[in-house]
């Protein structure tokens, strides 16, 4: 520390600053002279950076000394008075250190001579034998008389009786390492006879070195934590930027979807209205034709009625052939105007909106997959967990069901009944992602499992049993093995499956890597122990499921990191 306690005690402060002790200029957090001192509502003072850093790393906004809590974080303003006093104190220390750097190698306190009467003179030394402090004048016999010259003199200290052994009334000049206490010479001949004792000077040197080492370690811990604070702040900044980008992207996507829906709705209304107008035009034409035929038929009806009342035999016979033949008309029995002219119109419009949404979802999924691929990890299969019926490649990246069971040693971690195997690497925090090639297989299981799963006998894959998995059966049935299981309707058969885990968020997600689409996500999970990648190539008894599960490198990982 630049302005240490020992250094401060030997300063000859000016009159104005001598009234204040060094502790009043020290921040209780960093233990150094105030830098930009601020006062908080409870009255205590700290460096602005120290109290800000303390509150940044604490859930509560409280005073480190009196523990008073504040409802909201107080505004911090530099206390100009304390700042000026601290600056004066720092300047005084620096001047004294420059002018007399070797005048106070030890702790020196203001001690008066015990011999002086009247006006007490400042003591120069204290005698541990006489248990008395002497000024320069009264110290003279100790520098001249041979018997007194053998007495042990130290820089003046108070309470000399505390340096004497309470039991033997002798000087405490030894240190017992066994009991970690100061002792006199007589103590080493009685209670501490078999103990490891050394002179105080030696113990002092050792303890001082130990303190120096501890102080270095503490300073290193402080720096590490300050660095971690900066890392967390940086992470928060990145998270904020990511959140802003996500919000911006979501606004764009949903705005585009709303516009697309509104456009489709407008187009749908126009189509329906146009069809209605066409129906009305058709009806008008038919009505006009019908009215014309009705007029003609009514005219013929009048002529027939008039003819039926004539008494002129010749006229009746001559007119009857032409009037008895009906005028030409249409066959209206098959002609109609349909009341529902818009069959399927709404469905087709909604289908177009659905296609637009699926297109946007695909874009989002592609961006999502690219982001999570940065968390790719190198997964290797663990042979100690493999069922005896599984065959694993030498590089630990491929596994399939073999024709015969292998003779493998018993291990508590080995699956005994089910054709399963775990990855070597377990994860208990953060995020991780890996990809598995499933091309050519008709049956498989993939996901993650917790460390404490049951590996013997029959196993039921479900989150309550510690498994978060999806499977394929009979080459066409995909399921997410939740409770209860969920039948998955996939547009395409995945050839490569990506598995992503966010430990803190409690999420396990599966992706079709080549189709760049989301398969399924387990959400709201609570993880309390290590999670391991889980694989089951399933049985090949029918000879159609011989292809292996292959842990694939994440091809986009390098290029994506370079973009980042």
Number of domains in the chain: 3
Asked if pLDDT for residue 5 goes beyond 60, the answer is no
Decide if 466 contacts 450 (C-beta within 8 A). yes
Residue 399 sits in the same domain as residue 529: yes
Residue 483 sits in the same domain as residue 542: yes
Per the prediction, the chain carries an average pLDDT of 84
Per-residue b/e over 62-77, b at no fewer than 16 CB within 10 Å? Answer: bbeeeeeeeeeeeebe
Residue at which a domain ends, from 326, 349, 381: 326
Instruction: Look at residue 23 in the predicted model and tell me its pLDDT.
Output: 62
Residue 396 sits in the same domain as residue 312: no
Q: Which two three-digit tokens encode residue 209?
A: 């070195």
Instruction: Look at residue 379 in the predicted model and tell me its pLDDT.
Output: 96
Distance CA 151, CA 147 (A): 8
Instruction: Give the model's confidence band at 44: pLDDT under 50 very low, under 70 low, under 90 confident, else very high.
Output: confident
Q: Model confidence over 445-456: pLDDT tens digits?
A: 999 999 999 999
Quick check: is 355 in a domain? Answer: no
Q: Model confidence over 336-366: pLDDT tens digits?
A: 877 666 667 788 888 888 888 877 777 877 8
Quick check: is 558 in a domain? Answer: yes
Quick check: is 353 in a domain? Answer: no
Please report, rounded to a whole number, the percentage of residues in the chain having pLDDT higher than 70: 90
Instruction: Look at residue 382 in the predicted model and tell me its pLDDT.
Output: 96
Residue 378 sits in the same domain as residue 484: yes
Residue 440 sits in the same domain as residue 528: yes
Residue at which a domain ends, from 52, 77, 99: 99
Residue 295 sits in the same domain as residue 412: no
Decide if 55 contacts 73 (C-beta within 8 A). yes
Place of tokens 């249409």: 330
Residue 315 sits in the same domain as residue 408: no
Instruction: Look at residue 13 in the predicted model and tell me its pLDDT.
Output: 38
Residue 377 sits in the same domain as residue 519: yes
Q: What is the CATH number of the domain that holds 514?
A: 2.60.120.920
Quick check: is 119 in a domain? Answer: no
Q: What is the CATH number of the domain that holds 21?
A: 3.30.40.10
Of the segments 106-120, 250-264, 285-299, which one has the largest average pLDDT value? 285-299
Q: Which domain holds residue 259?
A: 203-326
Quick check: is 213 in a domain? Answer: yes
Residue 476 sits in the same domain as residue 554: yes
Instruction: Give the model's confidence band at 400: pLDDT under 50 very low, under 70 low, under 90 confident, else very high.
Output: very high
Q: Model confidence over 466-493: pLDDT tens digits?
A: 999 999 999 999 999 998 999 999 989 9
Instruction: Look at residue 549 in the predicted model and tell me its pLDDT.
Output: 96
Compare 92 and 407 and report the one with higher pLDDT: 407
Instruction: Give the model's confidence band at 158: pLDDT under 50 very low, under 70 low, under 90 confident, else very high.
Output: confident
Residue 285 sits in the same domain as residue 406: no
Decide if 8 contacts 25 (C-beta within 8 A). no
Quick check: is 136 in a domain? Answer: no
Work out whether strand 507-512 and strand 496-502 pair parallel, antiparallel, or are unpaired: antiparallel
Asked if pLDDT for residue 100 goes beyond 60, the answer is no
The model's pTM is 0.51
Instruction: Look at residue 10 in the predicted model and tell me its pLDDT.
Output: 37
Helical segments of 343-448, H only: 345-372
Residue at which a domain ends, from 99, 116, 148: 99
Mean pLDDT over residues 215-243, rounded? 89
Residue 384 sits in the same domain as residue 296: no
Show Cβ contacts of residue 396 under 8 Å, excluding neighbours closer than 6 positions: 380, 381, 382, 383, 424
Residue 454 sits in the same domain as residue 541: yes
Instruction: Look at residue 304 in the predicted model and tell me its pLDDT.
Output: 86
Quick check: is 275 in a domain? Answer: yes
Instruction: Look at residue 327 in the predicted model and tell me its pLDDT.
Output: 81
Mean pLDDT over residues 381-385, rounded? 96
Mean pLDDT over residues 319-334, rounded? 82
What kind and span of H or E run contains 87?
helix 80-99
Asked if pLDDT for residue 558 goes beyond 80, the answer is no
Decide if 534 contacts 448 (C-beta within 8 A). yes
Asked if pLDDT for residue 32 goes beyond 80, the answer is no
Mean pLDDT over residues 134-162, rounded? 86
Instruction: Give the model's confidence band at 413: pLDDT under 50 very low, under 70 low, under 90 confident, else very high.
Output: very high
Instruction: Look at residue 93 in the predicted model and tell me its pLDDT.
Output: 62
Instruction: Look at residue 94 in the predicted model and tell me its pLDDT.
Output: 57
Quick check: is 289 in a domain? Answer: yes
Asked if pLDDT for residue 60 goes beyond 90, the answer is no
Asked if pLDDT for residue 545 goes beyond 70, the answer is yes
Q: What is the DSSP letter of 375?
A: G
Asked if pLDDT for residue 109 goes beyond 90, the answer is no
Asked if pLDDT for residue 270 goes beyond 60, the answer is yes
Greatest alpha-carbon pair distance for the chain in Å reads 187
Instruction: Look at residue 50 in the predicted model and tell me its pLDDT.
Output: 86
Compare 244 and 353 and report the one with higher pLDDT: 244
């Amino acid at each position: 520390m630049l302005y240490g306690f020992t250094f401060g005690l030997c300063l000859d402060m000016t009159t104005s600053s001598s009234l204040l002790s060094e502790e009043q200029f020290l921040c209780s957090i960093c233990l150094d002279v105030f830098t930009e001192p601020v006062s908080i509502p409870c009255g205590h003072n700290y460096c602005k950076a120290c109290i800000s850093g303390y509150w940044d790393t604490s859930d509560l906004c409280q005073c480190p000394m009196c523990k008073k809590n504040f409802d909201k974080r107080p505004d911090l303003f530099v206390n100009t008075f304390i700042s000026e006093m601290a600056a004066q104190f720092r300047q005084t220390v620096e001047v004294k250190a420059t002018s007399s750097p070797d005048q106070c190698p030890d702790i020196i306190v203001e001690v008066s001579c015990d011999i002086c009467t009247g006006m007490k003179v400042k003591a120069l030394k204290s005698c541990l034998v006489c248990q008395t402090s002497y000024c320069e004048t009264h110290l003279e016999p100790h520098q001249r008389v041979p018997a007194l010259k053998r007495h042990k003199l130290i820089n003046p200290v108070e309470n000399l009786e505390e340096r004497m052994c309470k039991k033997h009334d002798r000087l405490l000049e030894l240190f017992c390492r066994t009991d970690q206490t100061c002792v006199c010479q007589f103590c080493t001949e009685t209670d501490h006879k078999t103990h490891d004792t050394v002179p105080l000077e030696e113990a002092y040197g050792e303890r001082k070195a130990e303190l120096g080492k501890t102080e270095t370690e503490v300073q290193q811990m402080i720096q590490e934590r300050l660095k971690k604070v900066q890392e967390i702040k940086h992470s928060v900044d990145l998270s904020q930027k990511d959140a802003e980008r996500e919000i911006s992207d979501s606004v764009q996507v949903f705005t585009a979807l709303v516009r697309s829906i509104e456009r489709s709705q407008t187009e749908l209304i126009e189509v329906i209205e146009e069809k209605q107008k066409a129906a009305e035009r058709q009806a008008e034409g038919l009505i006009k034709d019908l009215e014309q035929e009705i007029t003609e038929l009514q005219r013929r009806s009048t002529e027939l009625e008039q003819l039926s009342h004539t008494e002129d035999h010749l006229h009746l016979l001559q007119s009857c052939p032409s009037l008895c033949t009906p005028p030409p008309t249409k066959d209206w029995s098959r002609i109609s105007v349909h009341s529902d002219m818009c069959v399927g119109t709404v469905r087709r419009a909604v289908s177009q909106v659905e296609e637009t949404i699926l297109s946007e979802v695909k874009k989002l999924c592609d961006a999502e997959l690219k982001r999570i691929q940065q968390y790719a990890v190198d997964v290797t299969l663990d042979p100690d967990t493999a069922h005896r019926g599984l065959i694993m490649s030498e590089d630990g990246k491929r596994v399939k069901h073999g024709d015969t069971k292998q003779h493998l040693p018993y291990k508590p971690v080995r699956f005994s009944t089910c054709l399963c195997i775990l990855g070597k690497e377990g994860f208990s925090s953060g995020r991780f992602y890996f990809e598995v090639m499933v091309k050519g297989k008709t049956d498989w299981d993939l996901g993650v499992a917790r460390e404490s799963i049951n590996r013997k006998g029959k196993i039921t894959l479900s989150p309550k049993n510690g498994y978060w998995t999806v499977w394929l059966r009979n080459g066409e049935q995909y399921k997410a093995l939740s409770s209860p299981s969920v039948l998955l309707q996939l547009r395409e058969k995945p050839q490569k499956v990506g598995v992503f885990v966010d430990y803190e968020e409690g999420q396990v997600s599966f992706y079709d890597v080549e189709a760049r689409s989301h398969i399924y996500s387990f959400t709201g999970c609570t993880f309390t122990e290590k999670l391991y990648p889980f694989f089951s190539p399933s049985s090949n008894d029918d000879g159609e499921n011989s292809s292996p599960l292959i842990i694939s490198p994440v091809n986009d990982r390098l290029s994506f990191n370079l973009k980042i």
